Amino acid sequence: MASEDKSDLRSPEDRGTTHSSADELLHVAGLGRKFGGLTALADYDVDLRSGELLGIIGPNGAGKTTLFNVLTGLVPPSSGEVRFCGKDQTGAAPQRLAEVGMARTFQNIRNFASLSVIDNVKVALQLHESVPLWQTIVGTRRYRADQARIHDRAVDLLELLQLDQARDHRADGLPYGAQRRLEIACALALSPKLLLLDEPAAGMNPTETLELMHLIRRVHEEFKLTIMLIEHNVHFIMTICHRIQVLNYGRVIAEGEPAYIRKHPAVIEAYLGHGASDA
Amino acid sequence: MRRAIPVLAGLVLLVALLALADMSLNSYYLRILGLMGIYIVLTVSLNLPNGFTGDFSLGHAAFMAVGGYCAAVLTMPLVSKELLLTELPTWLQETVVPFPIATVAGGLLAALVALPVGLVVLRLRGHYLAVATIGLLIVVQGIATNWDSVTRGARGLSGLQPHTTLWWSFGWAVVTIFVVWRMAYSPFGRAMVSIRDDPLAAACRGVRVFRTRLVAFIVSAFFAGVGGSLLAHQITAVTPSTYSFDVTFLVIIMLVVGGMGSVTGSVIGAVIMTVVPVLLRDLERELDMVGTAQLVIAGALIAFMIFRRQGLMGTREFRLAGRFGPKASSPSPAPDQSQTPTSS
């Protein structure tokens, strides 16, 4: 299976299309990551155009989160190349990537527990609004104006994610679904071009999942975002994504539109085991 | 500006109390009160790395030594210099700097030392950082003991003028509280706390993790240097043992008792840990039970760590009716406070 020609993995519609660099946001080629003898990710390629919504699925341990960790600079790649907005960002630090427009959420929620909800958002907002420390200490007019603007933007974002009621609560005191929304709010606060969501619906009940789906669609359109989404909920991903990549054992085993992926034998085999595709 | 009124009222009250103390107390209690101001400077500044950023440093006394020796050499009267420091370069031999300038110079030198030190030790976190900063303390002690021409080794520098009045020690305490408060409850403070909570997530949300930690470390070192100078000019002498492990640990205890991550907690911790031992010592002298004071304090600290690990204030602040500093940017108190400063 590993020796299969790559072009065969793509759906007929995708085959042969080369995206022009003008609207190409992310170009990844041959990305790989080894942990000791374990290959967590190998020969990963993707080209994302602005505004795309790419879903990534795969069994547990397939390398999905490793992919996100490598893309966002938490783990340096062992091989390969990452170009973001036309610039080489291979192995760039997380802070740098956030600066150029890559934002992510985590599978296990990672908000700042001892900060209030609104301060969590403000931490992210101040990326593009940094004030020299002396101005902070003196409390200059510019500093106060900046803080007022950050505050207003934070309130707007919290309203968008229906968190404005809880704005002064500590982040770790929120219900689970709200914590997930807070993470998304923080990611949006970075004004990203590319948003990477790692299992945003994990642990949510069906109603919450549905709401989240609408929310992701909404921010995708309103913020003109490009989104990469890892999700186990197949209905969720099939409904929302334009294109889906399937990972298994650290490799892409299939790529294409939802309808194509649904019928792809390699995908069925990865999920249901060998022999299931013959049935 | 209405927010400033309670703060101004507090300052006026402080000035009045200090003036009263200055007139009525004997020199023994005046010294203790002065020491309290110095400990406030030290504890509040140590809160920046240890409390807010989650970088547990044990090297505060090292920066105090740098600042203390620097200021002592600068303010020492010409007569004493001719006698004690014959090997100093002539330009230093012939200059005497006023105490306030020497104190700032001591702070700046400590901050300057903190830059390269921070670049190295802040690659570590948690226990490893604590051990590395103890190493720094040992290095500085070694230099102070052996650099005879400047520090006079174990004999130290004596004959300093008693410049540290109540006004200087509490003046610096107020400056330290102001600066640390403004830093803690600002975007910079949010960045510090985000790093304490989760450095990786902070980096993913655009926080310049290393730079923030380094700045907190350096500002903290500046005030440690200032505190070192104040202490030197209160005792009127500096020896390597002036800035020993004892001082570092006393300040750490003050910080922990007050609550790491709370500026007002640090003030309270410093006040309590200065006053209580003195009162107990008076009491044991009266009851003729010498030595019990230390046992009581030690026992109390153990009990304190068992029953109130987060310190008196936790991460909360004691606020005057209005607010002090920028509005509502502090973490709000929550019902459940799990106070683990570092998650590494």
Three state DSSP letters for chain B: CCCHHHHHHHHHHHHHHHHHHHHHCCHHHHHHHHHHHHHHHHHHHHHHHHHHHCCCCCCHHHHHHHHHHHHHHHHCCHHHHHHHCCCCCHHHHCCCCCHHHHHHHHHHHHHHHHHHHHHHHCCCCHHHHHHHHHHHHHHHHHHHHHCHHHHCHHHCEECCCCCCCHHHHHHHHHHHHHHHHHHHCCHHHHHHHHHHHCHHHHHHCCCCHHHHHHHHHHHHHHHHHHHHHHHHHHHCEECHHHHCHHHHHHHHHHHHHHCCCCHHHHHHHHHHHHHHHHHHHHHHHHHCCCCHHHHHHHHHHHHHHHHCCCCCCCCCCCCCCCCCCCCCCCCCCCCCCCCCCCCC
Token pair, residue A218, equals 């909404």
Over range B292-306, report the average pLDDT: 86
Token pair, residue A78, equals 């062992």
- B205 and A CB contact within 8 Å: yes
Closest CA to B63 of B106, B13, B98: B106
Task: Name which of B14-28, B41-55, B282-296 the model is least confident about.
Answer: B282-296
Q: Is residue B340 pLDDT above 60, yes or no?
A: no
A98 contacts in chain B (CB < 8 Å):
203-206
B202 contacts in chain A (CB < 8 Å):
112, 123
- Nearest chain B residue to A116 by CA distance is B331
- A148 and B CB contact within 8 Å: no
- pLDDT bracket for residue B341 (50, 70, 90): very low
Task: Name which of A104-108, A267-271, B323-327 the model is least confident about.
Answer: B323-327
B201 contacts in chain A (CB < 8 Å):
106, 110-112
Q: Which of A113, A137, A168 sits opposite B179 (nearest CB)?
A: A137
- pLDDT bracket for residue A16 (50, 70, 90): very low
- Nearest chain A residue to B185 by CA distance is A136
- A136 and B CB contact within 8 Å: yes
Domain definitions of chain A by residue range: 1-101+192-279, 111-186
- Nearest chain A residue to B199 by CA distance is A112
Rg (CA), chain A: 20
What pLDDT was estimated at residue B195? Answer: 96
What pLDDT was estimated at residue A279? Answer: 44
What pLDDT was estimated at residue A76? Answer: 93
Over range B212-225, report the average pLDDT: 97
Task: Say whether B329 and A127 touch across the interface (CB within 8 A).
Answer: no
**A212 contacts A4 by C-beta, under 8 angstroms:** no
Rounded distance between C-alpha atoms, residue A73 and residue A93, angstroms: 5
Task: Say whether B196 and A114 touch across the interface (CB within 8 A).
Answer: yes
| Percent of chain B's residues with pLDDT above 90 | 62
Token pair, residue A168, equals 């002064």
Q: What is the CATH number of domain A1-101+192-279?
A: 3.40.50.300
B196 contacts in chain A (CB < 8 Å):
114
Over range A28-40, report the average pLDDT: 91
Task: Say whether B204 and A104 touch across the interface (CB within 8 A).
Answer: yes
- Nearest chain A residue to B333 by CA distance is A170
Instruction: Give how far B190 is from chain A: nearest CA, Å.
Output: 6
Residue owning tokens 């107990």: B280
Burial of A85 (0-12, 13-18, 19+ CB in 10 A): middle
- pLDDT, averaged across chain B: 87
- Nearest chain B residue to A108 by CA distance is B201
Task: Say whether B190 and A119 touch across the interface (CB within 8 A).
Answer: yes
Rounded distance between C-alpha atoms, residue B64 and residue A165, angstroms: 46
Q: Which of B186, B188, B206 sits opposite A95 (nearest CB)?
A: B206
Q: Which of B201, B206, B334 sits opposite A110 (nearest CB)?
A: B201
- Nearest chain B residue to A131 by CA distance is B187
Instruction: Give how far B297 is from chain A: nearest CA, Å.
Output: 31
Over range A35-57, report the average pLDDT: 91
Q: Is residue A17 pLDDT above 60, yes or no?
A: no
Task: Say whether A190 and B187 touch across the interface (CB within 8 A).
Answer: no
Nearby residues of B144 by Cβ (< 8 Å), 6 or more positions away: B65, B69, B151, B153, B240, B243
Token pair, residue A159, equals 């309203």
Task: Say whether B334 and A170 touch across the interface (CB within 8 A).
Answer: yes
Rounded distance between C-alpha atoms, residue B146 and residue B188, angstroms: 39
- B332 and A CB contact within 8 Å: yes
What pLDDT was estimated at residue B31? Answer: 92
Query: What does residue B185 show for φ and ψ, rounded to 5 degrees?
Result: -110, 70
Closest CA to A55 of A209, A240, A260, A213: A240
Over range B310-338, report the average pLDDT: 56
Q: Is residue B324 pLDDT above 50, yes or no?
A: no
Other CB atoms within 10 Å distance of the CB of residue B112: 16
| Percent of chain A's residues with pLDDT above 70 | 89
SS (H, E, C) B303-318: HHHHHCCCCCCCCCCC
Q: Is residue A70 pLDDT above 50, yes or no?
A: yes
- pLDDT, averaged across chain A: 86
Instruction: Give how far B321 is from chain A: nearest CA, Å.
Output: 19
A62 by DSSP, 3-state: which? Answer: coil
Closest CA to B262 of B46, B64, B56, B38: B46
Note the pLDDT tens digit of each residue in A117-148. Answer: 999 999 999 988 778 888 888 888 889 999 99
**B64 contacts B243 by C-beta, under 8 angstroms:** yes
What pLDDT was estimated at residue B315? Answer: 81
A170 contacts in chain B (CB < 8 Å):
331-332, 334
What pLDDT was estimated at residue A156? Answer: 93
- A122 and B CB contact within 8 Å: yes
Note the pLDDT tens digit of each residue in A223-276. Answer: 889 999 998 888 888 889 989 999 998 899 889 998 888 888 888 887 777 655
- pLDDT bracket for residue A1 (50, 70, 90): very low
Q: Is residue A23 pLDDT above 80, yes or no?
A: no
Residue of A136, A150, A179 to mutate, testing the B interface (most B Cβ within 10 Å of its Cβ): A136
Note the pLDDT tens digit of each residue in B72-131. Answer: 999 998 888 878 887 788 888 888 899 999 999 999 999 999 999 999 999 999 899 999
Note the pLDDT tens digit of each residue in A176-221. Answer: 889 999 999 999 999 999 999 999 988 888 888 998 999 999 989 9
A190 contacts in chain B (CB < 8 Å):
205-206
A124 contacts in chain B (CB < 8 Å):
205-206
Instruction: Give how far A169 is from chain B: nearest CA, Å.
Output: 7
Q: Is residue A277 pLDDT above 60, yes or no?
A: no
More reliable by pLDDT, A129 or B256: B256
A188 contacts in chain B (CB < 8 Å):
none
Over range B169-192, report the average pLDDT: 94
Over range B211-215, report the average pLDDT: 95
- B211 and A CB contact within 8 Å: no
Task: Say whether A74 and B204 touch across the interface (CB within 8 A).
Answer: yes
- pLDDT bracket for residue A163 (50, 70, 90): very high
- pLDDT bracket for residue B285 (50, 70, 90): confident
**B208 contacts B18 by C-beta, under 8 angstroms:** no
Instruction: Give how far B275 is from chain A: nearest CA, Å.
Output: 31
What pLDDT was estimated at residue B2? Answer: 61
Token pair, residue B187, equals 């975007």
What pLDDT was estimated at residue A18? Answer: 45
What pLDDT was estimated at residue A275? Answer: 59
